[in-house]
Amino acid sequence: MSDKYDVVVIGSGPAGYVAAIRAAQLGLKAACIEKWKNNEGAGVNGGTCLNVGCIPSKALLDSSYKYHEAAEGLAVHGISTAGVEMDIQAMLGRKDKIVKQLTGGIAGLFKANGVTALYGTGKLLAAKKVELTDNNGVVSVIDAENVILASGSLPIAIPVAPVDNDLILDSTGALEMGEVPERLGVIGAGVIGLELGSVWGRLGSKVVLLEALDDFLAIMDKAIAKESKKIFTKQGLDIRLGARVTGTEIKGREVEVTYKTTAGEELKETFDKLIVCVGRRPFTQGLLAPDSGVDVDDRGSVYVNDFCATNAPGVYAVGDLVRGPMLAHKGSEEGVMVAERIAGHKAQMNYDIVPNVIYTHPEVASVGQTEEQVKAAGEPYNVGTFPFVASGRALAANDTDGMVKIIAHADTDRILGCHIVGPSAADLTQQVAIAMEFGSSAEDLGMIVFGHPTLSEAVHEAALAVNGGAIHIPNRKRR
């Protein structure tokens, strides 16, 4: 391949395809390489997120929640239902249709913006050359002024639970189960485990989540994690903390799981299906030639600076390949930043304000620092909380589980963090993220007029509560 590109992106997930499009918008000649194939063997864009991650899992979450509401949640509204059934194949078909629509949409965006789509495997060689092995096995070398590595991540495998995607599944296999298992085990009670457990729990599985850590959602604010666990337990998820899986054995069409508790007790549990959700790792296999000049740290992440530049000149890495949380939106913004810097702009990214979301129902979302982090830093702070049970809109919708928590600096009143478990938590947290980006105080947020009745009023009241001014709940005494 004789053409030379200003930018070659390896990987077309949320970080890669966005980087390629933004580069092309800024007048750079851009190409994007993707190895993913659809069921027909054709190359498709979108990476893990669109094909077997964020998008298909949200499709199943929404379908399963609608089924649950129809079967069990409408009587309170005066709506009688009987004989509600879920067609699993139709649910999976809808999921696949959404995936096809969105991955095809990226191809359309590439065409509209002049990005060259290349399908196959990319490897970074020395001197910013990229080896492309296309889907027919033909090898060529592409010259690039700049290379952006965006090859994403893979599920972490654990030897004690070897995945066969029949009885023991990874997160990808869990999106394709053709029937509802009576007993479902999930190793890991993090984001993916909770989301997948919620899907199949709503559809009728008895779900047990085995979490090795003693703390539930350790990365979240402790008050929100505690409230979340209470809600999920009430929904029927059996969350067992301090449960380290030590072995699995296939017995017929069942999986026997052995785990050890923090107290040292060894226990066994039998499941019809077992999902392994213990995290993800950067995908660098075959990505870097030995002389590429790119360093990888001891966790397998590509080493980059604050602007996602590697130590090889003209080579960048973004998304799940690099430090920080593995979040699609974090990767997308890194892709934009890198494309703009290549084009000569002084772009940067605020890593302190990256929202994190768990798409259960209710959702769990956060942005900024937890109370534990602020306390550990020795900063003076105030906290305001507001429960959704005191929200008129949440009551009208019969969706009152959860709360909003806002943390602000005690001296400057600047918002340091927002943590929500409750209806529309992701969208509500984003409101506070915008305020934080502009350096808003809790008082600033409290002075804004919020529509009534809305769920957003819970954010408003929590902001007011920071300084003892909440209207619709009693204010706790200031420190």
Does residue 406 contact residue 418 with C-beta atoms inside 8 Å?
A: yes
361 is catalytic: no
Tokens of 346: 């002084």
Sequence-separated (6 or more) residues with CB below 8 Å from residue 78: none
Sequence-separated (6 or more) residues with CB below 8 Å from residue 337: 307, 308, 347, 348, 349
Classify burial at 159, counting beta carbons within 10 Å of its beta carbon; exposed 0-12, middle 13-18, buried 19 or more.
exposed
C-alpha–C-alpha distance, residues 442 and 412, integer Å: 9
Among 361, 452, 460, 472, which one carries the catalytic annotation?
452
Q: What phi, psi does 471 have (nearest 5°)?
A: -95, -40
List, in sequence order, every beta strand (DSSP E) within 68-194.
116-124, 129-134, 139-149, 153-155, 168-169, 183-187
Report how many helices (DSSP H) and strands (DSSP E) the chain contains, helices first.
Answer: 12, 21
Q: Which helix (H) or strand (E) holds 255?
A: strand 254-261
3-state secondary structure of 4: strand
C-alpha–C-alpha distance, residues 420 and 385, integer Å: 9
- Show the 3-state SS of 46-94: CHHHHHHCHHHHHHHHHHHHHHHHHHHHCHHHCCCCCCCCCCHHHHHHH
C-alpha–C-alpha distance, residues 366 and 357, integer Å: 7
Q: In what order do the strands lie in the sheet with 381-387?
A: 356-358, 363-368, 415-422, 403-409, 381-387
Handedness of CA 167, 169, 174, 176 (dihedral sign): negative
Handedness of CA 16, 21, 27, 30 (dihedral sign): positive
C-alpha–C-alpha distance, residues 361 and 76, integer Å: 18
Tokens of 402: 């959860």
Q: At what angle do helices 425-437 and 456-466 cross, to 10 degrees?
A: 50
| Nearest Cα residue to 152 out of 321, 286, 322, 16 | 321
Catalytic residues: 452
